[in-house]
Amino acid sequence: MSDYFRKNIAALAGYVPGEQPRDNKIIKLNTNENPYPPSPQVIAALRKASNRSLRLYPEPLAESLRVVAANVYGVRPENILAGNGSDEILSIIMRSFVGPEDRVAFPVPTYSLYDTLVDIQQGERITVDYPADFAVPETLASQNAALTFLCNPNSPSGTLVSLQDVERLARAVAGILVVDEAYVDFAESEGASTLPLIRHLGNLIVLRTFSKSFSLAGMRIGLAFASEEIISGMMKVKDSYNLNRLSLVAATAALSDMPWMARNIRRIQRSRKVLSAGLRKMGFYVYPSHANFVMARKKEQNLKDVYERLKSKKILVRYFDIPGLQDSLRITVGRPQEVQALLKEMKALGNHPMA
């Protein structure tokens, strides 16, 4: 494996070389995958579609998927673009709206890919620190940015800002507001999504992924919702066949079995409560999470050792070796038994303080 891969691509994807879950004993709580499998309807549809038709190209504009998604989300197919994961859509957005020196603003800490993509486009990165409670920073709207990103719920904090605050931000920014809702299905209460606002706000793009709530990270499917004008512009930028035939089939089948997804969300929400309570009992500050992960903080204590020691016990969590986050761990909500195993190990570490 090349050094370049190790240092750059692997870090970006949260991939730990040599530590993929080939070994069943690894408890993988570092990249916010769903611990439950996708709907049986998805598996059946994939089996059925794995046939001679794979010699044909997929639908270039994902028309069938967009029709089904439009129905589920109460918009028109013209308001939707399908991408190879929401990461690809983020890249399409960046290529559509940002040229050299264009300003791109986002609050930090947040999803690290925004940073990387601005660099690739040679845009000007404007970061605004989140306040302690992870509310929308007051100065975010006034940055005169071509693009503003808001991850809601945010990663790594798991915190959610209200619909009213997002709407206020969308109305106040100079350019486009992208709301990355990768985790919104896990929000504590329904109605957290900004998606219905695309009808009234011509500068709003809302992103969803099938990687988290639909348990389909391996299939790479994301959706962007926006005005017809924005979507048609982004269509010109995307690759011709950006989603393969099987991903299109999987996404369509997943949308046809919403109760499966809703059931898994309820299970994860229950485990999230157990995980958060267990960590708080150990003296961590745990941010109120609306995602399938929690951020646990021990103010001004570097948690690298905790991360390393968990890793040595085959439990992978996310440690960010960057200033301001070294006292935090981001932990994906796993199955109940995985949550228990993690809590048990962390408790054991607490009883044997680190050198």
Ligand X SMILES: Cc1ncc(COP(=O)(O)O)c(C=O)c1O
| Residues engaged in binding ligand X (CB under 6 A) | 32, 85-87, 111, 151, 155, 180, 182, 209, 211, 217, 222
CA atoms within 13 A on the CB side of 89: 29
Cα separation, 355 vs 338, whole angstroms: 27
Containing 118, the helix (H) or strand (E) segment is helix 113-120
Strands 27-28 and 204-209: unpaired
Neighbours of 212 (CB within 10 A): 26
- Supply the minimum distance, in Å, between the C-beta of residue 213 and ligand X: 11
**Of residues 180 and 185, the one with the C-beta less far from ligand X:** 180
Cβ proximity to ligand X: between 155 and 276 the closer is 155
Query: Diameter of the chain by CA atoms?
Result: 60
3-state class of 354 per DSSP? coil
Residue closer to ligand X by CB (options 62, 345) is: 62
**Shortest spacing between CB 149 and ligand X, in angstroms:** 9
Q: C-beta of 88: minimal distance to ligand X in Å?
A: 7
Closer Cβ to ligand X, 157 or 345, answer by number: 157
Rg (alpha carbons) of the chain, rounded to whole number: 20
In angstroms, rounded to a whole number, what is the distance separating the alpha carbons of residues 154 and 291?
A: 8
| Minimum CB distance to ligand X, residue 207 (Å) | 7
| Dihedral in degrees, nearest 10, Cα atoms 270, 271, 277, 280 | -140
Q: How far apart are CA 309 and CA 77, in angstroms?
A: 49
Euclidean distance between CA atoms 104 and 124, whole angstroms: 6
Q: Specify whether the backbone of 30 is left (phi greater than 0), alpha (psi in -120 to 50) or beta.
A: alpha
- Residue number of the CB atom closest to ligand X: 85
Looking at beta carbons only, is 128 or 243 nearer to ligand X? Answer: 243
In the complex, minimum distance from the CB of residue 114 to ligand X, in angstroms, rounded to a whole number: 9
Query: Please, what is the minimum distance in Å from the beta carbon of residue 186 to ligand X?
Result: 12
Q: How far is the CB of 85 from ligand X (least distance, A)?
A: 3
Cβ proximity to ligand X, 39 vs 155, nearer residue: 155
Residue with tokens 């919702």: 225
Residue with smaller CB distance to ligand X, 151 or 345:
151
Cα 316 from Cα 27, distance rounded (Å): 6
